[in-house]
Structures are given as structure tokens and as C-alpha cells.
Amino acid sequence: MKCAPLLLALAFALPAHADVNPASPRGITATTVDARDFGARGDGTTDDTAALQAAIDATAAKQGTLIVPAGTYLTGSLFLKSGMELHLDRGATLTGRQTLDAYPRMPTRIAGIEMTWPAALINVYGQSDVRISGEGTIDGNGKIFWDSYRTLRQSYEPRGLRWASDYDAERPRLIQVYNSARVDLGGGLNLIRSGFWTVQLVYSHDVHVSGVTIRNNIDGKGPSTDGIDIDSSHDILVENADIDVNDDALCLKAGRDSDGLRVNRPTEHVVVRNSTIRAAAAGITFGSETSGGIRDVEVYGLKVLGPVGSGIWFKSAHTRGGTVSNIRIHDLDIAGARAAVRVELNWNPSYSYATIPAGTNPVPAHWQVLATPVPADKGMPHVRDIDIRNVKATAQTAFSIEAYADAPLRDMHFDQVDITAGSAGSISHVRGTTFSHSKVTAPNAVALEDAQIIGLSITPETKP
């Protein structure tokens, strides 16, 4: 029996916390190995890549812990192995080399499509039972890659190629966990100046990220330097992070357009909690890569200090497809957002929709993938069953919510939400949206279009 929307609003109660307890790495012994015993110098000028990789291989053979003592270790890509821990002592810094040949190109997923791309600085690639710990620093040294991206994008945009920029400007990620299981990352690590995304968890499960500090706005603002991206992965716990980046801070993804629909792997069974977000595109982001679906997610205990573009952000496009559902967001404190809650399902068209200019020859293979048409019935994204509770926010705009007439947002419920905004904003193409025990303070009413909403009232702004 279906409840009427009003009864849903009155009876709304948040379910218990999601039961996501990623399995921990197993089999790591008490054996320790010192990176200096394999020739790692840590003087900031010697290329320590080969020495560090030899130490990693030896440590994995003993199922032990590799200790990296204080020092600055200049390195290219490193590949951790199953059954080992990498521990960075306080004062130890792994600094990325500033040349792409230090990062071997290999199969991966980048921004929603499978393609060959440079490896990350630190890679857990097809491994299991790995831990990365310590109070040291992993420094992507990324400004040279940020600058190369900006130069390429500046040349691409006049040609209608904004959508290709992020794929053609190759930049190393800081940490990639790819097709791996039982991985722990954190314990006080400092992650800075990533060339591209900072931590990408892709096709992986049972991953725990805790106690990392991410700073990508050193030496300028690093473009596309997401903090933590959970990408077609499951049984993930992210907690106690402190993030300052120039793009999405905490982001859930599941593939882009035709390639994401082909792979069809969801992100599911995820908890994100008890973290601080400073500068970022949003406090918590879902999408825009939604093709495989994002479901069964709980987000709570975030302090969004701002400035951020959105406090809570759902984004997609009409070629993405996929369903975002069963999302529980609660106990957030949001300050300094442009929009407190944003749903944007026709996001950034110049990036989201790929059209190859006439006369282009040859056409790169990944361009062909990006431009592969998606049937209209498969391309519409769907967002439903979203519960938002106990959120306090200040923002320029309270709501910027727009779905599609043919694919409306369904069953979004707000309870104990308190938003003070310069404008109430707009809501369009929604069904079954309810508000209970909530207060929105703004100088105007919400602009509604094709919207079924119960319980929303605006308190006029009062001036002293």
C-alpha cells in the first residue's frame, strides 16, 4: 500500500546507520624493511624510483611493512603489492617527478571511460591486503601538469573540444586503487598538489580511507584535483578526512555515457562521514558519472566550511543514464555555499556532450568512445529516494533543483533542515518531495515548475 506524500512527510524517520564495515588487510606480518637499505637516498634530487620499487618488492615477499624514514624522495610511479604496508614516517615525503615518462601508461578508467593513461604516483593495481599509513606526505608536485592542462584547454575550447580536454591533457593521479580489495589508507597522511584526482578508488571493494589531509590549492588552484573519488566500487568507508581542493571534495561516480553503460558497475554500500571540507566544488557530490548507478549510500557528520559551489550536489547529463537511489544524508553543517542543495541533471553541456568537429582525421579512439551516441531511453538519468535530514546551511541560494519532465526527481525528503539564503531558488520536475520540521529563510518564494512539493514554507528574511 502506498502512503500519501503528506503521511510520508509526517512519518519520515532516518533509518539506522548503514552497515558498511570494509574487511581489513590480512596477512601482513610484523616484519619491517627500511627503504634506505635498498639505496633510497631521500635527498630531494636523486631519482629514488628504482630503489623504492625494489624495497616494495622485497617487503611484499616478506609480507611486511616498508618504512620510509624522514627525507624527500623524488620518485615516479610506485606499485604496491599484495600483503604489505607502506609506512611514511613523519617528515618523510614522496615527491612526484615532473615528467610524464615517470608514470607508465596503462589501462585504467579516467573520468568515466576505460582508456590507457599515465599511472598514479602510488598504485594499488590488481592487488589485495595493502595498507598505506603514517604521518608523512605524498606530494604530486603537480603544478607543471595543471599548467599543461590549462594551456591545452585554452586551445581546445574555441574548437568546440572542451569535452576532450580532461582526457587529452594527461596528468598523474596521486593514489590509484584499481581492481583491488582490502585496502586501508590513512592514519595521518598528508596528500598534496596532485596532478589530477587525488585518491581514486575504482573497481575495488573493502576499502577504508581514514585520517587523510588533502591540500591541492598549494602553488595555485589545481584544476580537476578531486579529493576522494569512489568509482564503481563497493563496501567503502571514508571518514575523518580534511579536504581543500579546486574541484569535487568527496565524489561518487559510476561511469560515463556509452562506456559506463557498457561496463555497468554500480557504486554501492558506501559510508562517508565525520570529515571537514574547505574550498571545493561541493561538500558531497554524486556524479556526473552515473551510468552504472549509485545506491545505498550514507553521508553524515560533514562540516562544509566553504567556499563551495554546492553543499549537496547531484549532477548528471541526458547521455549518462543510470539511477542514483537510496541516499541518506544527515547531520551536515554547511557554510558559504552558492547553493545549499543542487540537482543538476543537464550539467555543463560543453563538457558533458561530445561532438567531433567535421573533418577531424584521424579521430582518437577515446574520442570515438566519448562521442558514441546513447539512445534516449538509456541516456536519461534517474534520481530517487533521497533523504536529507538535520542539515544547517547558509548559502546564496537555498535550492537549485532541476530534473527532466520525462525523468523527474522522485521522493526527496527533507526533515529538520534549516537553510538561510539570499534567494530561495528554484525547483522543477520533481515528484513526491516533502519537507517536515524544516525552516528556509529567504527574501522570496521558491520558483516552482512541474513540482509536487508538500510542507515547504519560506520564512521572510528579517533585518535588524
The two beta strands, 242-244 and 213-215, are parallel
Q: State how far the alpha carbon of 326 is from the alpha carbons of 236, 316, 348, 449, in Å.
A: 16, 17, 25, 24
Rounded to 5 degrees, what are φ and ψ at 219?
70, 25
Q: What nine digits make up the cell of 336? A: 558559504
pLDDT (mean) for 429-455: 96
156-197 pLDDT, tens digit each: 999 999 999 999 999 999 999 999 999 999 999 999 999 999
How much is the pLDDT for 8? Answer: 36
Indicate whether 463 pLDDT > 60: no
Question: What single-letter amino acid sits at 381?
Answer: P
Q: What nine digits make up the cell of 413? A: 525528503
Q: What nine digits make up the cell of 329? A: 544524508
Q: pLDDT exceeding 70 applies to what percent of the chain? A: 95
For 179: left if phi > 0, alpha if psi spans -120 to 50, otherwise beta; the answer is left
Q: What nine digits make up the cell of 260? A: 559506463
Indicate whether 398 pLDDT > 70: yes
Pick the range with the lowest mean pLDDT from 374-378, 407-411, 457-461: 457-461
Q: How far apart are CA 92 and CA 72, in angstroms?
A: 6
Could you give the domains of the chain? 248-356+365-464 (2.160.20.10)
Write b or e for each residue in 233-242: b if 16 or more Cβ atoms lie within 10 A of its Cβ, otherwise e: bbbbbbbbbb
Tally Cβ neighbours within 10 Å of residue 178: 22
Q: pLDDT exceeding 90 applies to what percent of the chain? A: 92
How much is the pLDDT for 18? Answer: 59
How much is the pLDDT for 461? Answer: 67
Tally Cβ neighbours within 10 Å of residue 375: 11
**Confidence bin at 1 (pLDDT 50/70/90):** very low
Q: What nine digits make up the cell of 88? A: 611514511
Question: What single-letter amino acid sits at 25?
Answer: P
Rounded to 5 degrees, what are φ and ψ at 405?
-60, -35
How much is the pLDDT for 6? Answer: 33
Matching residue, cell 630503489: 51
5-61 pLDDT, tens digit each: 333 333 334 444 557 899 999 999 999 999 999 999 999 999 999 999 999 999 999
